[in-house]
Structure 1
Amino acid sequence: MRIDKQREAFIRRYTAGERTNHWLVALTFVLLALSGLALFHPSMYWLSNLFGGGTWTRILHPFIGVVMFVAFAILAVKFWHHNLMTWSDREWLRHGREVLANREENVPEVGRYNAGQKLLFFVMVACLVLLLASGIVMWRAYFAFLFPIWAIRLASVVHAVCAFLLICGIIVHIYAAVWVKGSVQAMTRGTVTPGWAWKHHRAWFRENFRPGDK
């Protein structure tokens, strides 16, 4: 655990590379959401103007999707072991009201990620895998001709449902990051205060921080 004494002993939570990867995923997600909505319904087709029109929107959307999948896959592999559910996580979920009431001292100690973050992580993994698979089936310029029409129609439904779930999940993710004061700093500066770590991720704090660490 690295302590930055020049910034009031902040604790390093994410490296520069991890933060860059995260923001690449965030940027590509926004682009995919906007272009996907433009292609989803005529009432939102005006969003295609952000990408140079309908033709460019259809061309760029799948390529941006591949970039997001690869970027997220790198993060998923790196943090997979931190997101495995434990007995403490199940107990944490049972005390959800205490968490929402900001009484985290009454719930089991949390490691690097809490149970809610872990569930969201696996929802994102499942959605992105299905989005990639269904997107390949629908990708007319390269792959769609390999599949029967019923498979393409099924893939379209799966793609839309998974995109909806992913958008909802990201909204929850953003809301939680803003709601828990100090969380945004972890992904902008890469650091958190010892107080933040002790309150929200006490087990992670105990495992990684010792007085005098540098």
Structure 2
Amino acid sequence: MKHKPILRYTANERTNHWLVAILFFMAALSGLALFHPALFWLSHLFGGGPWTRILHPFMGVLMFVLFLGLVLRFWRANFITATDRQWLRRVDRVIRNEEEGVPPVGKYNAGQKLLFWTLLACMLVLLVSGVVIWRAYFSAYFGIDTIRLATLLHALAGFVLVLSIIVHIYAGIWIKGSVSAMLHGWVSRAWARKHHALWYREVTRDERPDTHKGAKP
């Protein structure tokens, strides 16, 4: 039992995550094509300018709906706690991979939790502003000033979302085993004990202190 891997993500959770990821890249590329003439060549990936304009909002709405699936699954695990605030005060040690004095964390550390709420905020802004500027269906109901403000907010939220996803990808690669967990669902006990000690104790009921500092996934 002590070498048996731990299930971190179910098949449904992994499928949900990758569908959101695929739609994010499609929505981001089509959005960039519409954002600036220098990037309009990206519209060829979607069949040209008219099709890009048609598909982009639908992809965005579908991405938001599927992202809500992740929110419903994981929001409880992403509340910020006193331990998380202590972790943030010592994040410089985490970056240097120095774990002395860094408090143990649950299923997600404070950085992951902040990213979760940032993604949710960006998604909400993109949805609301996107509805306002959706010419085919809704923009006729709003004044020009509202549309201009929504366009600005849409671009700003998209920019923050793209940056956040870049951080998410980098962190997933930096912490070896994170990408594998989202691909296959399982992590080793040593990995769980090293990176998410509180979560490890919760799922295994192992109350021993962390003594595996060099754990591999």
Matched AA of 1:209: T
Which of the numbers 124, 140, 146 marks the counterpart of 2:135?
140
* Structure 1 residue runs of 4 or more that deviate by more than 3 Å after TM superposition: none
TM-superposed deviation, 1:100? 0.5
After TM superposition, the structure 1 = structure 2 runs for residues 170-189 of structure 1, keeping only pairs within 5 Å, are 170-189=165-184
Other-structure match for 2:11? 16
Other-structure match for 1:95? 90
Asked if the contact 1:15/1:190 (under 8 Å) is kept, the reply is yes
Counterparts of 1:104 and 1:72, CA distance in 2: 32
Which of the numbers 33, 42, 46 marks the counterpart of 2:41?
46
Other-structure match for 1:71? 66
Counterparts of 1:31 and 1:105, CA distance in 2: 42
TM-score by length of 2: 0.93
% same residue:
59
Deviation string 1:84-118 (CA, Å, 9 cap, x unpaired) is 00000000000011100112342111001000000
TM-score by length of 1: 0.94
Could you say what secondary structure the match of 1:104 adopts?
coil
Structure with the larger RCO, 1 or 2 (CA within 8 Å, 6+ apart): 1
Asked if the contact 1:104/1:199 (under 8 Å) is kept, the reply is no
Structure 1 residue ranges without an equivalent (≥5): none
Cα RMSD for the two superposed structures: 1.2
Which of the numbers 85, 89, 93 marks the counterpart of 2:80?
85
Which of the numbers 179, 187, 190 marks the counterpart of 1:195?
190
Matched AA of 2:172: A
Asked if the contact 1:38/1:47 (under 8 Å) is kept, the reply is yes
Between the two proteins, the alignment pairs up a number of residues equal to 206
Which of the numbers 200, 203, 209 marks the counterpart of 1:208?
203
Could you say what secondary structure the match of 2:6 adopts?
strand
Deviation string 1:183-212 (CA, Å, 9 cap, x unpaired) is 11110000111111011100000111147x
Counterparts of 1:78 and 1:21, CA distance in 2: 10
